[in-house]
Amino acid sequence: MIRPAEPTELDVVAGLRWRWILESGHQPVTGREEFVRHFVDWAAENTGSHRCMVVVRDGEVIGMAWLAVVQRVPSPRALLRASGDLQCVYVIPGERDGGVGGRLVEAVLARARDLGLERVTVHSSPRAIPAYARRGFAPSPRLLHAPVTRTDLYP
């Protein structure tokens, strides 16, 4: 089942994020308990801009994806504008390569459509690019980015 995360599940979602960093070979800057507390507080404070979807199987959260919604400057053609950024897509290792991640991305894109977003972007690992491409993501010559912080900290 894929659905919005419940507030009571945010500690589990934080655990997935912690696990992802360790799997990536990165060193956390804090202890796990402190990170989980910070993550849960952050998620509660950012419900207006960040929405978490989870994959649940047999009562266990096995995957997550975040949709960050950014309000855009009004245009004479559209007074209300917003775009999204797909963030932190993660499925536990034993559930990968079976389509769960793809269905999770599709659920986030459906939610973006329901919210009326103009587009959704994603910063992908090389391994995941084909999976995103299968769901309609494509490079754009007009969407550019400039790193303004250390990118080695963020897998």
pLDDT of residue 11: 96
- The C-alpha atoms of residue 67 and residue 25 are separated, in whole angstroms, by 25
By the 10 Å C-beta count (0-12 exposed, 13-18 middle, 19+ buried), 3 is classed as exposed
Burial 36-63 (b: 16+ CB within 10 A, else e): beebbeebeeeeeebbbbbbbeeeebbb
**pLDDT at site 97:** 87
Predicted pLDDT of residue 155: 52
How confident is the model at residue 153, as a pLDDT? 56
Q: Which CATH superfamily is domain 2-138 in?
A: Gcn5-related N-acetyltransferase (GNAT) (3.40.630.30)
Strand, helix or coil for residue 52? strand
| Mean pLDDT of successive 10-residue stretches along the chain, which has 155 residues | 96 97 92 97 96 96 98 94 96 92 96 96 91 94 82 56
